Structures are given as C-alpha cells and as structure tokens.
Structure 1
Amino acid sequence: MNNVPMTVAGEAALREELEHLKKVERPRISDAIAEAREHGDLKENAEYHAAREQQSFTEGRIMEIEGKLAGAQVIDVTQIAKTGKVIFGTTVSLINIETDEELSYKIVGEDEADVKNNLISIGSPIARALIGKEEGDVVVVRAPGGEVEYEIDEVQHI
C-alpha cells in the first residue's frame, strides 16, 4: 500500500472525527435503532430504516478514516530543515507576475485540501509546479484558463 502524505493537523482532524464517530454517533444510532424496534413492525418503520441507513453511513466512514490513517505518512514540516524550497506542508506566498496579485497557499494532502482556506492538494497543478522550487523562482502553472506565471515570494515551514 502506498503511503499518502498528510500533515500533522490533517491527521489530528481525522483522529478527532474518528473518535466522535465511535464515541458519540455510534451509541446514539444504536439507541435510535433500539427505540425504533420497540415501535413494532420493522417493514414499515421509517425511523428504523433511517437509523439503519445512518448506521451504515457511519460505519463506512469509520472504516474509510481508519484506512486513511493506516496508509498515512504524517509529515511535520516544522521538523524539516528550512531550505527555502517548496516541499509538502510548506506555506508558499506567490505573486502573479501579470497582475501583481499576492496569493498564499499551504500544500497539504488530498483529503485536507480546501481552496477556500488556501489549502491546496499536493496533486493540484499549482502544487506540482511549485514543488522543488525556491524563493525568487518564477513558475508557470498550466491552469484551465491558460498559463499563469507566479514568482515565489516566500516559503514558510509552519
């Protein structure tokens, strides 16, 4: 099985969700199923079927998270020597050469990506273009709207 890169924060979020599902949601759903069973005929019991569906979803999500954590390679970027190079987990400040617009992205694992919060996946076109480059380098990102040139202003290991 291939190790999937994940930040420390990403691992913590998955572990927190897993704990919530196991300690809060699982018992709540079991109680709902037990209560629905007391209402009698299970064939036409909508509460029972809804609770069973919720149980199925929750158990599936638990298995999914456990699988992701088992295959995760957690990388703590703060423990890596600061070289000024863009690597997994670094936060990169960019300047769009054409518009002088400033952007900042943190390169994270696939499951952690959230563009609205400036978290981009290691597999995204912009991250692939940035990996291995250094402060001051100019990179060309092939985006759906065409090629965009960025200058790497700063690389932070935070």
Structure 2
Amino acid sequence: MSKSTYYTGEGLQRLADELKDLKTRGRADIAKQIAEATDKGDLSENAEYDAAKDAQGHLEAKIANLANLIANARIIDESKLDASKVGILSKIKMKVPTGAIMEYMLVSAKEANVRENKISIDSPIAQGLLGKRVGDVAEIKTPRGMIKFEILEISL
C-alpha cells in the first residue's frame, strides 16, 4: 500500500482532471496510432506498431500511477493549520542576505511549480523552513552553500 500524500483541493482536482484526460483523449490517441499502424500490414516488422504499443504501455502505467496517487491522497484541512509557524500550505515572505525578498508557498511535491512560487515540502529549502516563526533565521544548505533566510511573514 502506498503512503498518503497531502494535497490542496485545487491540487487534487488537477490530478483528477489529468487522469480523466489520459483515460479519454490519451487512450483515444493511442488507439488511433495503433489502428493506423495495423492498417500498414505485417505487424512482425512494423516499427510504428511497436512504437504505438510502447506508448500505450507508458500511458497505462501513467494512468495507474495517477489513479494510485488519487486513491491515497488526503486533502489538507486548512482550518487546522497553524499560521504562526511554517508548515504545509504556508505562504512565506523571507529575506536573503542580498536583501532580496522572496515569497514561496510550501505544497506537496506533485503540486510544486516554481513559476507559481510553489515549492515542494520535501525540498531542502522547505525542510529548513519547517517549524520556523516570524523573525527566525533559517540557515539552509543549498548548492551555492549555506544561505540565511530571515522569515518576515507567514500566512495561509
């Protein structure tokens, strides 16, 4: 049995939408590719058919993986989160030694998206911030060495 992973309602809905798309459009596309390859004759030496069957296997594995993630997903009850310290779903405003202000939200690994300033709760930076409070300074080892992050604000 897989371990439970926590998601926001929005993140879980994105997974469900992706699964639905793979089951409908994804499977239909693969079936079309297989049919087109089959129409070309002898399957024993048909590279297009082999490629389509491989793609089908990859698609089914992805569908199974997503279905498993969804089956083991738990939605985070935001009303039970503590905004006084950094945790999952915390939005953190922090200052780095250069004086730059950075803002991130800590989310599950599957919901992480750097363009949206959402970082994985499993990342080294997030791990170094967990449990910290406003005013705390977290020293976190990064590929560029140790960096100090001063927590300016925490919200949900």
Equivalent in the alignment of 1:90: 90
8 A Cα contact 2:83 2:90, kept in partner: no
What's the CA shift for 1:81? 5.1
Question: RMSD of the TM alignment (CA)?
Answer: 1.8
Q: Deviations over 1:33-77 (max 9, x none)?
A: 123222210022222122112111110100111111122222143
Question: Following superposition of structure 1 onto structure 2, how do residues 28-107 of structure 1 map, counting pairs within 5 Å?
Answer: 28-77=29-78, 79-80=79-80, 83-96=83-96, 98-107=97-106
Give the residue type in structure 1 aligned to 2:61: G
Percent identity, please: 37
What's the CA shift for 1:137? 1.8
Give the residue type in structure 1 aligned to 2:103: S
8 A Cα contact 1:8 1:76, kept in partner: no
8 A Cα contact 1:94 1:153, kept in partner: yes
Equivalent in the alignment of 1:17: 18
In structure 2, runs of 5+ residues without a counterpart are: none
Structure 1 Cα separation of the partners of residues 22 and 44 of structure 2: 27
8 A Cα contact 1:95 1:150, kept in partner: yes
Q: Secondary structure at 2:7's aligned position in 1?
A: strand
8 A Cα contact 1:3 1:71, kept in partner: yes
Q: Secondary structure at 2:22's aligned position in 1?
A: helix
Pair 1:150-2:149 in alignment: yes
What's the CA shift for 1:6? 2.1
Q: Secondary structure at 1:141's aligned position in 2?
A: strand
What's the CA shift for 1:26? 0.5
Structure 2 Cα separation of the partners of residues 3 and 81 of structure 1: 18
How many residue pairs end up in the alignment? 155
Q: Secondary structure at 2:146's aligned position in 1?
A: strand
Q: TM-score, normalization: structure 2?
A: 0.88
